[in-house]
Structure 1
Amino acid sequence: MRLFLSLAVSSLAIWLSTACGRGVAVNTPTDPPVSGNVNGNDTPNPTSTNTTDLRASATAAFDTTARPKWLADRIQAHLAEPKANPGVQISRYTYKGQVVYYETLGCCDQFSNVYNAKGKLICHPDGGLTGKGDGQCPDFDKNKTGESLVWRDPR
């Protein structure tokens, strides 16, 4: 029995020593580049340009038609403050038969604002701790029409 156990252990040791070495080779390429220069043309340049540009257009198509003075003043006030993240954006819509201006503000639980054409705050349709605004215009998203981007912080 002792002989059998000794033979089994020896066989296992031999098998492990050869099995671990099989098929394992770590080679570091040492061939020089084809041109003899690492800056050669082994890797060709791309043959096409990117078709997707995720950056915002530097020249956004803003609608500047009849911007009320209060709105121009509000835009100047935003430009005097540090840039918000995400940036402030103002859009014009028709809501309940009147022209309104929807202003998004920066990050994190801030209310968005909806102003009438004279600059009076009508409601906060979204934002706040619940994300549902102040409840004064819960149908704003469903009933706003005629979207037109008025201004987006370009910084």
Structure 2
Amino acid sequence: MAALPKCIKNKIDSFKLKEAHERPQKVTEFTYNGKKVYYITMPCCDFYNEVYDENCNYLGAPDGGFTGKGDGKLPDFAKLATNEKVVWQPSK
């Protein structure tokens, strides 16, 4: 986790304090529109899977939620996100 932005490290630290069933499944780094972003896979499909930039600004949820289609803010994420790298996953 050494190369992660501090705010992303802080988010991960807060995830570690949650009960296993409430904890996100993983944090994945992608390149999206030329910038590093962090995709947080939530513990249940009914929650939005959130994407943040390096400063922890919320960019949107490309998927998840009751419809499975996210919040509509990143409709091209699945097509344009590249360089997938899992940066955190809870130990089981």
Assess same fold via TM > 0.5: yes
| Structure 1 residue ranges (4+ consecutive) displaced by more than 6 angstroms after TM superposition | none
Runs of at least 5 residues in structure 1 that lack an aligned partner in the other structure: 1-63
- 1:59-87 per-residue CA deviation (whole Å, 9 max, x = no partner) reads xxxxx351111111111111111013785
Q: Based on CA coordinates, which of the two structures has the bigger radius of gyration?
A: 1
Structure number with higher helix proportion? 1
Amino acid at match of 2:59: I
Q: Larger relative contact order (C-alpha < 8 A, sep ≥ 6)?
A: 2
CA distance in 2, matches of 1:88, 1:105: 6
Answering whether residue 58 of structure 2 is matched by residue 107 of structure 1, we say no
Q: CA deviation at 1:108?
A: 3.7
Aligned-pair identity (%): 37
| TM-score normalised over the length of structure 1 | 0.56
Runs of at least 5 residues in structure 2 that lack an aligned partner in the other structure: none
Q: CA deviation at 1:106?
A: 0.6
User: Who is 2:5 aligned against?
Assistant: 68
User: Who is 1:126 aligned against?
Assistant: 63
User: Who is 1:94 aligned against?
Assistant: 31
| TM-score normalised over the length of structure 2 | 0.91
Answering whether residue 77 of structure 2 is matched by residue 140 of structure 1, we say yes
Answer yes or no: is the 8 Å Cα contact 1:84–1:105 preserved in 2. Answer: no
C-alpha distance 73-86 of structure 1, shift in aligned 2 (>3 A): closer
Structure number with higher strand proportion? 2
Q: How much is the aligned-residue C-alpha RMSD, in angstroms?
A: 1.6
Paired residues in the alignment total: 92
